[in-house]
Amino acid sequence: MPTRSRGDALLAIARALNASLTIETALEHVLKLIGETIDADAVSVFVRDADSDSRGNLQVSFARRGGSVQHGVATIDLGLSGFVLSTGKAILIDDVEKEPRFEGKLDSQFGTRTRALIAVPMRRQDRLNGLIEALRERPEPFDKSDLDFMSTVADELAVAIENSLLVRRLQDDVRERELLLDAARAVSSTLDTDEVMSRLLTTLDKVVPYDAVGVYLLDRKSGALTDVQHRGYPPGVSELLRARPGTGITAWAAKNKQSINVGDVRSDERYIEARPSSRSEVAVPIIRSDDVIGVITVESDAHDAYSDRQVVLLEIFAEHVASALTNARLHARERERARREHEIELARPIQIAALPAGRLCGENFEVVGINVASDVVGGDYFDYFERADGQIGMALADVSGHGLSASLLMVAVRSAVRLTVDSTRTPAVLMTGLARLLYESTPANQFVATVLARLDPRTGKLVYSNGGHIPPVRIGSDGEENLPSCGFILGAFPDSKYEDREMQLESGDVVMFYTDGLTELHNDDGEEFGIERLVDIVRAQRDQPLDRIIEEVRQAARRFRGAAPREDDVTLMLLRWGTLP
């Protein structure tokens, strides 16, 4: 029999999925909850990820009741699963032994013996990105309520999976940027050229793998290339270059001020064989002020080893090498550090001024918030204000990253909201415009999770739109209720669309808006503060003034954290509808 109600299960699943944008970290808990709720013996999630699998296979996560999650791969034409993916229709099978389309491949893969089956597609707008299956090994069919529950979970998972794939792509881009930043730091961290080159070549291998690499300087008088540093080549490579000045793929790149990517060096007459095992070579000129000062070259033992993207990365590395060979950047780096510190000191008062100075209240409502930055400046933002039409506008945002760049973007978001809020009809319309603006004006690795809301102070009607943010929570006399996400994080896509959701507040209701810096606060033992602890504190103080509730939360978080460092910005905003008893 089911061990929990469907409502509790859906709330727990939503919390698990919103606790992390990495879907793998949530699946074990989600699959367990599904199995317990509909009394299934096993649950599977099939994810179609064309970015990671060009053959179109399905990535499978499988969990037997009471067991851990197993992972595997299934072909896209897998029996009934293939039918669900091709038609987009859910299926409810009472007995698979009477179903000719059932192939039992998953049973063979994970050792189950399916009798009853539910399979529900995971759809996001017009895209089918996978399906969920639940099975029973006993002759006891599922019913329509089980199918409805699975369909609701599928909708939640579809959003979570798309967000997870988006974050994965963003993380790959960030990883490359961080490695390139490491290279830039290596250039400016020492005056010793050999040490700089060694650091650069180590960093380069993480982005563009090679079997051999060399950095060469061009002698302007003789036109010959002499090596500064190389790895993977046999002894005597320097003499080989000097014996044939002006020839070879490396010399061609220097002469033409142009990168060259040779997929098969055996078929290129320019190639000078320095390594018998080499099959591919890329040579990129090192240019400073339009003058070629050298060449960086990489070789691989595989044919067609290097992509156009990797050539671009090599060109960026070549720019760093040029800096290392022509400048001692130590003093400039120190000046830059001092300038940034000064800018941050100037930015902090601006950020503080952008946040509300006190509470906003009326006859039937009260709203108050608090922000604690993890650095001198931070990327969290909250705001509340009276609109021109008398409605109360509210906003909460969490900008990716920390420090000055996040703070500047936070102030820009606040300004955009304040400037356009009176000219937009609903939070969703404002969210759509803000998403487009951020996509066009921010780097690809910077995005903003946002909640925008509007309260009618006469009736208690709350209209909100959530762009990839942790769901706010309504805490009332009848329990708690999430305000779920209804769109992507802002800045990720140029054409993101958002929905308005409505909620009628009852007297005494408290709506809690917060960022994950609060719930993911860690103590010395690595334990998280958590949403349940936060909800318990607010619920226990629900009849107290909001300022007092805020202070109770802050003190509880401080006691919980102890001496552990605060790793993220912390923001909490509370709205109460109705007067205190």
What CATH number is attached to the domain comprising 69?
3.30.450.40
Q: Does some domain include residue 334?
A: no
pLDDT (0 to 100) of residue 108: 85
Per the structure, the count of domains in the chain is: 3
Q: What is the value of pTM for the model shown?
A: 0.44
The residue out of 136, 170, 204 marking a domain boundary is 170
Is the CB of residue 491 less than 8 Å from the CB of residue 416?
Answer: no
What is the reported pLDDT for 374? 65
Same domain, 287 and 384: no
Question: Is residue 555 in some structural domain?
Answer: yes
Token pair 């860690």 is at which residue?
Answer: 522
Who's near 317: CB < 8 A, 6+ residues apart? 180, 183, 200, 203, 204, 207, 208, 284, 296
278 domain residue, yes or no: yes
Q: Which of 275, 295, 327 is the last residue of a domain?
A: 327
The pLDDT tens digits for 45-92 are 888 754 434 345 678 888 888 888 888 777 666 678 888 888 889 999
Q: From CA 14, how far away is CA 471, in angstroms rounded?
A: 9
Q: Which amino acid is at 514?
A: Y
Query: Domain of 201?
Result: 192-327
**Tokens 């703070």 found at:** 407
Q: So what's the pLDDT on residue 551?
A: 92
Same domain, 123 and 241: no
Length of the chain: 581
Same domain, yes or no, for 13 and 126?
yes
The reply to whether 381 falls in a domain is yes
Whether residue 175 lies inside any domain: the answer is: no
Residue 1 lies in a domain: no
Q: Distance from first CA to last CA of the chain, Å, rounded?
A: 42
HEC readout, 502-570? EEECCCCCEEEEECHHHHCCECCCCCECCHHHHHHHHHHCCCCCHHHHHHHHHHHHHHHHCCCCCCCCE
147 and 21 fall within a common domain: yes
Domain boundary among 115, 139, 170: 170
* Whether residues 317 and 350 fall in one domain: no
Predicted pLDDT of residue 171: 63
Residue type, 243: A
One domain for residues 306 and 365: no
- The amino acid sitting at 270 is R
- Answer yes or no: do 497 and 472 share one domain: yes
Residues 221 and 261 in one domain: yes
Enumerate residue ranges in the chain where pLDDT < 70.
1-4, 14, 16-25, 49-57, 75-78, 165-177, 179-180, 182-194, 227-228, 237-238, 240-246, 325-354, 374-378, 401-404, 566, 580-581
Look at residue 262 in the predicted model and tell me its pLDDT.
92
Cα(281)–Cα(402) distance, rounded to whole angstroms?
Answer: 40
Cβ(150)–Cβ(40) under 8 Å? Answer: no
**Residues 389 and 506 grouped into a single domain:** yes
Residues 385 and 314 grouped into a single domain = no
Q: Is residue 186 part of a domain?
A: no
Q: Are residues 319 and 358 both part of a single domain?
A: no
In sequence order, the β-bridge partners of residue 60 are 46, 72
pLDDT at position 393:
92
User: What secondary structure letter does DSSP report for 61?
Assistant: E
Q: Kindly report the CATH number assigned to the domain that includes residue 532.
A: 3.60.40.10
Whether residue 321 is found in the same domain as residue 367: no
Whether residue 179 lies inside any domain: the answer is no
Half-sphere exposure for 178 (CA within 13 Å, toward CB)? 9
* Structure confidence at residue 331 (pLDDT): 47
